[in-house]
Structure 1
Amino acid sequence: MNAGDDVRREVAEWWATSVSRIEPGVIELRGRPIQDLLGAASITDVIWLLLRGERPSERQAALLDAALVASADHGPHAPSIAIARMSATCGVGLNNAIANGVNVMGDVHGGAGQQCLEMYTEIRDLARDGAGVAEATRSTIARWRERSRYLPGFGHRFHPRDPRRDPLVGLVERAVADGVVDGEFLAAGLAVEAAIAPVPMNVDGATAIIYGELGFPAPLARGLFVLGRSVGILAHAWEETQGGRRIKGPIPPSITPAYHPA
């Protein structure tokens, strides 16, 4: 073996991955030839496959699909969509408009699902250690409220009751009854909701239940939310490009911001 072979091996190992295999004439995702997936796997199946290394069951895929659909769009009220629409009028192209929308999804806008799943996981772990769900919920809520008066995944600035909550929770309840998932995260979510009533669970709280029940770690709750919301961002950015408006700002030109002298 010569020095050139050593360099090629080192570079190949530097980018080693188990996610995909790409060679001339070969595309494999987690060992599955792409030609076997085309027409046989949905995008939800492929998301699961790439993240988990295996295909989901039909019921697992249905739960993940529902969570992604629930996250897809929330109109220009959402900063990620408003920013994408404004970006689309600045001549930057759809890829930049989508990226700009995605890039504002942080701890406050877009991160609640991850935070909520972290909270549920604390409750689940304490309950497993013998605290019981009710006591685990009380102590976890107390710790989280030391950081903020807001509990991630509960309440909504726009909806008195999030219309996505009941269908998502209902899907999980049926999955628990059928033995598809074990129900620990569902129990945690419902316990938090009961403890802080009448503040209802929102879409982040409901999808966090789904991601937890499906075995996704908390950071992926944010990543999966971003995937779902990217669909809405694309649709809004594309619609905005079709209107012909240039340099759309956050308010119409006829309205000027109030001025408050320092």
Structure 2
Amino acid sequence: MKIGKQSAPYQAICTSNPDTIIVRGHDLVNDLVGSISFTEYTWLLVAGTLPDDKQRRMLDATLVAIAEHGLVPSVQAARMTLAASPEAVQGAVAAGLLGCGSVILGASESAGAFFRDVRELKEADGSSTEAAAEKLMRRYKDDRKPLPGYGHPLHKGSDPRAERLLDIAAELGLSGIHCDIAKTIERLIPDIIGKPLVMNVSSAIPCVLLDAGYPLLALKGVPLLARTAGLIGHLLEEQTRPIGFIMSHAAAGAIDYDGRAPTGFVANEN
């Protein structure tokens, strides 16, 4: 990706004059506000065209599936930030989003890129999906790289969110090469990795959305957009039923100090 001076000083998302606001070629007020859903608007902003009904339903399903997952570290960071700075909801939301990385929420983009690589290898070699997937999976194993989007600390037998998203893709007639690749990888994992790892929601999201025509480079934004809604819900609750300092106190109580101290010193932070 080129970073630096741009050769073409243009953007194609939004423009306006004193009377009209244009978004992706549509009159915002007369064509979009009150006429389309936020999910449709998201697809339009990202992909540049309005989705059909199947695409809308698929994106909507992924957003619902990933918006909330309890007191994960990013949510704890947001709630404790608001506890420390109750006037800055935007800062607390930002703190939660900054805590979304390769372990929490960030695997969708990398899993999608892996599915793309398998598809491109399959097309280049004229090989089967299984052969292309196995070749790249063994390369990941040799490089000691984890397969993105597989395995879950709680959902060992299957991730119910992933299963539901795959079912919806099939029901809508959207299930295609990327879903096939994702399922093939899951099937091959025990023989190649040496233990079963289930497809989690972070691999289900990219395979169903790529098959629906959603852009690969925008995949990371889907869980971020969804989790923003979850964070706002947690932050409203933090204002009415605060637990930020309770979590902070619990952390202090759960973690012991093992550094140097004067002889006879006894820690008592309470």
For this structure pair, what is the TM-score category when the shorter chain's length is used for normalisation?
0.7 to 0.9
1:108 partner SS? coil
Instruction: Measure the CA separation in 2 of the matches of 1:170 and 1:87.
Output: 38
In structure 2, the CA distance between the partners of 1:95 and 1:143, relative to structure 1 (3 Å rule), is same
1:191 to 184, 190, 207: 184
Task: Report the CA distance between 1:60 and its aligned residue.
Answer: 0.7
Paired residue for 2:27?
Answer: 33
Is 1:87 the equivalent of 2:81?
yes
Paired residue for 1:208?
Answer: 206
Paired residue for 1:228?
Answer: 226
Is 1:44 the equivalent of 2:39?
yes
Paired residue for 1:8?
Answer: none
In structure 2, the CA distance between the partners of 1:37 and 1:190, relative to structure 1 (3 Å rule), is same
Moved more, 163-172 or 239-248: 239-248
Paired residue for 2:162?
Answer: 165
In structure 2, the CA distance between the partners of 1:246 and 1:132, relative to structure 1 (3 Å rule), is closer
Deviations 1:182-226 (A, max 9, x none): 601011001001111432111001101122112334331111111
Unaligned runs of 5+ residues in structure 1 are 1-13
| 8 Å CA contact retained: 1:117, 1:209 | yes
2:16 partner SS? strand
Task: Report the CA distance between 1:247 and its aligned residue.
Answer: 4.4
Corresponding pairs, count: 245
Instruction: Measure the CA separation in 2 of the matches of 1:252 and 1:182.
Output: 45
Instruction: Measure the CA separation in 2 of the matches of 1:256 and 1:190.
Output: 40
Paired residue for 1:146?
Answer: 142
Task: Report the CA distance between 1:238 and its aligned residue.
Answer: 1.4
1:89 partner SS? helix
Moved more, 54-63 or 98-107: 98-107
The residue type paired with residue 17 of structure 1 is Q
1:174 to 171, 174, 177: 171
The residue type paired with residue 136 of structure 2 is T
Paired residue for 1:250?
Answer: 248
The residue type paired with residue 151 of structure 1 is L
Q: TM-score, normalization: structure 2?
A: 0.83
Is 1:131 the equivalent of 2:130?
no
In structure 2, the CA distance between the partners of 1:245 and 1:193, relative to structure 1 (3 Å rule), is closer
Instruction: Measure the CA separation in 2 of the matches of 1:136 and 1:44.
Output: 34
| 8 Å CA contact retained: 2:166, 2:175 | no
Task: Report the CA distance between 1:256 and its aligned residue.
Answer: 5.1
| 8 Å CA contact retained: 1:80, 1:102 | yes
Identity rate, percent: 28
| 8 Å CA contact retained: 1:94, 1:238 | no
Paired residue for 1:240?
Answer: 238
1:73 partner SS? coil
The residue type paired with residue 258 of structure 2 is H
Q: TM-score, normalization: structure 1?
A: 0.86
Paired residue for 1:103?
Answer: 98
Any runs of at least 4 consecutive aligned residues in structure 1 with deviations exceeding 4 A, and if so which? Answer: 244-249
1:255 partner SS? helix
1:21 partner SS? strand
Moved more, 157-166 or 53-62: 157-166
Instruction: Measure the CA separation in 2 of the matches of 1:139 and 1:254.
Output: 47
| 8 Å CA contact retained: 1:84, 1:97 | yes
Is 1:20 the equivalent of 2:18?
no
Deviations 1:128-174 (A, max 9, x none): 22121010010111122234453111111122222201110111122
